[in-house]
Structure 1
């Protein structure tokens, strides 16, 4: 039997994938940059929940995005890796040394640094695997920086709409 928490997680994933695929993928900024919002599932997933379930759901949301976008596993890899290193990213970007993590206890600057670090790492993985040529490093970095900036704005709007910092 599926518990309510897993059902809620699947609904959130379905919402984010639908929003990404049907709305955000149709927004093209400067002729080639698309905002990315679906990784917020990984970033805002509660820290106290089952880690294996979290990794499986992170892989699943990436795999669903890969299926819709025909990207061959790039998003699944990136979201799973971000999920795996999320605690390290959180500790590094927020200077937190305790075992209890909470978004409510963070200052806005720490919260924003965590978001920016997570988005940047996700986009670096996606862009580098997509291009997969070291000779195009400057093009990759430009794509990563611009997409990170655009996605950061959309994720902040999402966090403000759903009051993530107060709830999680």
Structure 2
């Protein structure tokens, strides 16, 4: 198992924010949808680490994205909220009731459900806070679903490249 420190967490955050801002935000699929990858920091953060440090780092990564996108804290809010509810999302999507969490013990279907649930909640929060109008409810919901699917594909590729399921 790889030992993670605060320094490595910050390096991972810098890498993810740079990848999001300078690469992924320049990609538009179907001329409208942009993949989102930086929430993987929240999803794959080790469960046994300090939860207050985790919430602070989650807020910081969201705020960093907000600083580049001029989005007034929307990403910071959404990222911190999925960090706060991550254990609940994990337990619900994986049907796990124990206090010890491990990605290694999950079946792929449970792992993928956890990823999709997390990214869907993140996208739901970001897009409804940014664009909410009752007259555009279904248009925004469709945008959330499609962006979540596209981001999910990018996150699964990221997990396969870095073998997240085996390391965390």
Shared fold (TM-score greater than 0.5)? yes
User: Where do 1:26-45 residues align within 5 Å?
Assistant: 26-45=26-45
| Deviation (angstroms), 1:133 | 1.4
User: Residues 34-62 of structure 1: CA distance to partner in whole angstroms, max 9, x if unpaired?
Assistant: 00000000000000000000000000000
Tell me the equivalent position of 2:59.
Answer: 59
**Runs of 5+ unmatched residues, structure 2:** none
Tell me the equivalent position of 1:92.
Answer: 92
Tell me which stretches of 4 or more aligned residues in structure 1 moved more than 2 Å.
none
- Give the whole-Å Cα distance in 1 for the aligned partners of 2:144 and 2:84: 21
Tell me the equivalent position of 2:138.
Answer: 138
| Deviation (angstroms), 1:83 | 0.2
Tell me the equivalent position of 2:128.
Answer: 128
Tell me the equivalent position of 1:164.
Answer: 164
- Give the whole-Å Cα distance in 1 for the aligned partners of 2:145 and 2:30: 13
- Give the whole-Å Cα distance in 2 for the aligned partners of 1:144 and 1:79: 15
Aligned-pair Cα RMSD in Å: 0.7
User: Residues 107-147 of structure 1: CA distance to partner in whole angstroms, max 9, x if unpaired?
Assistant: 00000000000000000000000112122110111110000
- Give the whole-Å Cα distance in 1 for the aligned partners of 2:71 and 2:134: 20
Tell me the equivalent position of 1:46.
Answer: 46
Question: TM-score, with normalisation over the residues of structure 1?
Answer: 0.97
**Runs of 5+ unmatched residues, structure 1:** none
- Give the whole-Å Cα distance in 2 for the aligned partners of 1:135 and 1:121: 21
